[in-house]
Amino acid sequence: AQSVTQLGSHVSVSEGALVLLRCNYSSSVPPYLFWYVQYPNQGLQLLLKYTTGATLVKGINGFEAEFKKSETSFHLTKPSAHMSDAAEYFCAVSASGSNYKLTFGKGTLLTVNP
Amino acid sequence: NAGVTQTPKFQVLKTGQSMTLQCAQDMNHNSMYWYRQDPGMGLRLIYYSASEGTTDKGEVPNGYNVSRLNKREFSLRLESAAPSQTSVYFCASTPSGYTGELFFGEGSRLTVL
């Protein structure tokens, strides 16, 4: 079974500051890891994903995340926050042979202050 | 490009009433899912269909039934709605050759009084 823990249900940053959203996972088999973003009144859309290969993955809108197996982490970062980054972010995990099931964390609401 | 379309977008029910949430995708995806989203709970999988003709329970299936009508359509039925089923429901799909990338609809907001 897989699980995800997102540290901090709400993160507030100033425009131009570093964004760091934390995600730790638990998986008994090699995981696939994902970050999704949800803007108000919309569905989720994929930001980035790690399946195999390079552990630093880049996504849309300047976000990136690093898979650290030893720390069971997959934290999301962006060097400089924009007002448009304000949204809810979800970390998710699945196993490569999981019958296609994705397990989501509880989400982190990012607020960007001017 | 419609992607994943859910209907209705909003619905208010009384306890004990039944209803069906409809989902259709036009991307020729094999797998489809129903999730519910509740504040502070993230998204929880209700049912999924790995391929046409198959359905399986997810994390929170009680009180729901599903039908994979064809490759495009995957419906979610509440036979006797309860206030605990007040939630936002999301349908999603993913193509074959699983990569974990889900394509989501815009959600259906259901209130059960």
Question: Considering chain B, what is the average pLDDT of its residues?
Answer: 93
**Residue B58 pLDDT > 70, yes or no?**
yes
Q: Rounded to whole angstroms, how far apart are CA atoms B70 and B67?
A: 9
Q: Given an 8 Å threshold on Cβ–Cβ distance, is A44 in contact with B43? A: yes
- A contacts of B61 (beta carbons < 8 Å): none
Q: Are B21 and B108 in contact (CB under 8 A)?
A: yes
Q: Given an 8 Å threshold on Cβ–Cβ distance, is A34 in contact with B50? A: no
pLDDT in 10s for each residue of chain A, 114 residues: 789 999 999 999 999 999 999 999 998 778 889 999 999 888 899 999 998 888 999 999 999 999 999 999 999 999 999 999 999 999 999 876 656 678 899 999 999 999
- Cβ count within 10 A of residue B98: 20
Q: Given an 8 Å threshold on Cβ–Cβ distance, is B99 in contact with A42? A: no
The DSSP result for B34-85, as a single string, is: EEEEETTTEEEEEEEESSTT--EE-S--TTEEEEE-SSSBEEEEESS--GGG
- DSSP, collapsed to helix, strand or coil, labels residue B18 as coil
Phi (first) and psi of residue A62, to 5 degrees: 80, 5
Strand partners, A34: A49, A92
CA angle in degrees (0–180, nearest 5) for B86-B101-A49: 115
pLDDT per residue as tens digits for the range B63-101: 999 999 899 999 999 999 999 999 999 999 988 766 778
B-chain residue closest to A47, CA distance = B101
Most A CBs within 10 A among B5, B21, B35, B37, hence the mutation to make, goes to: B37
Q: Rounded to whole angstroms, how far apart are CA atoms A64 and A21?
A: 11
Q: Given an 8 Å threshold on Cβ–Cβ distance, is A42 in contact with B107? A: yes
Check residue B20 and give its pLDDT.
97
Check residue A96 and give its pLDDT.
64
